[in-house]
């Protein structure tokens, strides 16, 4: 049985994502993203499953800084639909609930439901932890917004489900390993993720990107972020379609090298549909 690390308590949406991809393996909860990565680095876990972006809130900033320095490689991705549930102690009716607690982001995603049911919102550290605390508090007047999995783990009743305001709330997770995935060139539906820094010369980024256009390589993501608080040391995170050994990708990457002083391929892996 494999061990797959995730950030959060048991019942977190990261835990649900692990169960979706590794249904027969053990999910290992970790307090922080750093702990999650470290679990794989030191051999306590075989893989880590980390969120990189959400359809409502954009990129998960911490991960973009952690991954390039982690030494781990991306071997897969998973798009996890986030369904918010209202959870209460056993025997609770919805009209008995007066207050609801959860992570501030989760509360923000359920504003309409909270307003329509005249509930007092309480900010908490996370979703799964809120479910655990509601179970411990054992008061029908208080409920939690969390995953259905959290309700099952902590013995709570499902009072309402799919209560989020938007029906496209999806988080993209990456599966991280100590070793690069064994993927052959010219395999269909392959994605390559890498980070790079352009040299500090005029039009360097424009010229660096030109190789992908002229070689017909589709770049599906390009994001920038600062390195060590230095305004002149911007690092870019990119996803492209194709394998580094595909002829078109190889030519594009060779052109990229002319205008960069750092390139780090984080992973080559099968692409999934969102």
Active-site positions?
171, 173
Q: Is the dihedral of CA 110, 111, 116, 121 positive or negative?
A: positive
Return the number of other C-beta atoms located less than 10 Å from residue 43's C-beta: 9
| Whether the Cβ atoms of residue 73 and residue 180 lie closer than 8 Å to each other | yes
Instruction: Give the Å distances, CA to CA, from 149 to 5, 107, 161.
Output: 17, 18, 12
């Amino acid at each position: 049985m494999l061990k797959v690390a995730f950030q959060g308590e048991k019942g977190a949406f990261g835990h649900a994502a692990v169960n979706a991809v590794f249904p027969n393996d053990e999910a290992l909860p970790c307090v922080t993203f750093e702990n999650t990565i470290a679990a794989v680095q030191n051999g306590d876990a075989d893989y880590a499953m980390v969120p990189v972006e959400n359809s409502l809130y954009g990129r998960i900033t911490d991960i973009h800084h952690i991954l390039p320095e982690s030494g781990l490689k991306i071997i897969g991705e998973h798009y996890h639909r986030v369904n918010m549930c209202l959870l209460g102690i056993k025997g609770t009716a919805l009209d008995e609930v007066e207050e609801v607690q959860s992570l501030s982001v989760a509360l923000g995603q359920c504003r309409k439901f909270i307003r329509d049911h005249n509930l007092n919102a309480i900010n908490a550290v996370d979703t799964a932890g809120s479910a655990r605390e509601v179970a411990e508090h054992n008061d029908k007047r208080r409920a939690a917004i969390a995953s259905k999995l959290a309700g099952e783990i902590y013995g709570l009743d499902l009072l309402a489900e799919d209560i989020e305001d938007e029906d496209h709330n999806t988080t993209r997770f990456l599966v991280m390993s100590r070793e690069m995935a064994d993927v052959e060139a010219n395999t269909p539906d392959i994605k390559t993720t890498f980070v790079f820094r352009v040299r500090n010369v005029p039009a360097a980024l424009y010229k660096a990107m030109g190789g992908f256009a002229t070689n017909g390589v589709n770049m599906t993501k390009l994001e920038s972020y600062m390195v060590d608080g230095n305004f002149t040391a911007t690092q870019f995170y990119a996803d492209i379609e194709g394998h580094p050994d595909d002829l078109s990708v190889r030519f594009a990457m060779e052109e990229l090298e002319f205008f960069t002083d750092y390139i780090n391929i984080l992973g080559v892996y099968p692409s999934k549909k969102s």
